[in-house]
């Protein structure tokens, strides 16, 4: 039985123009608010909150563009709301492995949460990891603005780019 055409997501051509910067910023802001609030609430659990928050926040951030959830349609919640889609330049559908490659540079900071469970030494080691993660996130943001196609390191590693879509 054939799949109805409306059930198959339309993947834009890899040559599509880069997505609007304001839409990308708002999409990331939506994702940050969602995972930030969830991470802070979970992080307040004594002793284990930090590592659990790190797993959940880091996991979402890594896999957000490959989640096979009907409402998200293989993209983050922020991208869905802003009508953006990460696409693979080879024309294949987005998958978890590609999402993880694409988002790894943005999820480095989450490693610091795992170390938080180790008293004193873990907290001290976490600080440079958070700092390095923040610097990488800043560089990624600059690349989105300055790159002709809006591709950041993660996009170049995964062979992806973000484009605007009708839905």
Helices then strands, each counted (H, E), the chain = 7, 2
Give the 3-state secondary structure of residue 88. Answer: strand
Query: How long is the chain?
Result: 167
As given in the structure block, the two tokens for residue 121 are 């030494």
28 phi and psi, to 5 degrees? -65, -40
Pick left, alpha or beta for residue 47 (phi over 0 → left; psi -120 to 50 → alpha; otherwise beta).
left
Distances (CA, A) of 120 to 42, 44, 134: 20, 17, 21
Per DSSP, 108 falls in state G
Which pLDDT score is estimated for 83?
93
Per domain, the residue ranges of the chain are: 17-164
Which pLDDT score is estimated for 12?
53
Per DSSP, 16 falls in state S
Which pLDDT score is estimated for 161?
95
Q: DSSP characters for 20-61? A: PHHHHHHHHHHHHHHHHHHHHHHHTSTTTHHHHHHHHHHHHH
Helix (H) or strand (E) holding 145: helix 121-146
Which pLDDT score is estimated for 15?
60
Which pLDDT score is estimated for 154?
94
Longest dimension (CA), the chain: 60
Mean pLDDT, consecutive 10-residue segments, the chain of 167 residues? 49 68 95 89 83 84 86 88 93 93 87 77 88 93 93 95 90
Distances (CA, A) of 27 to 46, 138, 145: 31, 16, 15
Which pLDDT score is estimated for 8?
44
Which pLDDT score is estimated for 13?
53
């Amino acid at each position: 039985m054939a799949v109805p055409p409306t059930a198959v997501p339309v993947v834009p051509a890899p040559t599509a123009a880069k997505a609007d910067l304001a839409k990308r910023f708002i999409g990331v802001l939506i994702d940050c608010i969602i995972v930030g609030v969830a991470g802070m609430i979970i992080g307040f659990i004594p002793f284990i909150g930090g590592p659990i928050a790190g797993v959940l926040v880091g996991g979402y951030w890594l896999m957000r563009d490959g989640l096979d959830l009907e409402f998200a349609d293989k993209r983050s919640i922020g991208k869905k709301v802003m009508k953006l889609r990460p696409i693979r330049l080879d024309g294949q559908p987005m998958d978890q492995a590609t999402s993880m490659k694409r988002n790894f540079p943005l999820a480095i900071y989450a490693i610091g949460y795992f170390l938080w469970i180790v008293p004193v030494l873990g907290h001290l080691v976490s600080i440079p990891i958070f700092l390095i993660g923040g610097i990488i996130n800043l560089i990624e943001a600059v690349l989105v603005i300055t790159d002709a196609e809006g591709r950041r390191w993660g996009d170049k590693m995964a062979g992806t780019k973000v484009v605007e879509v009708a839905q």
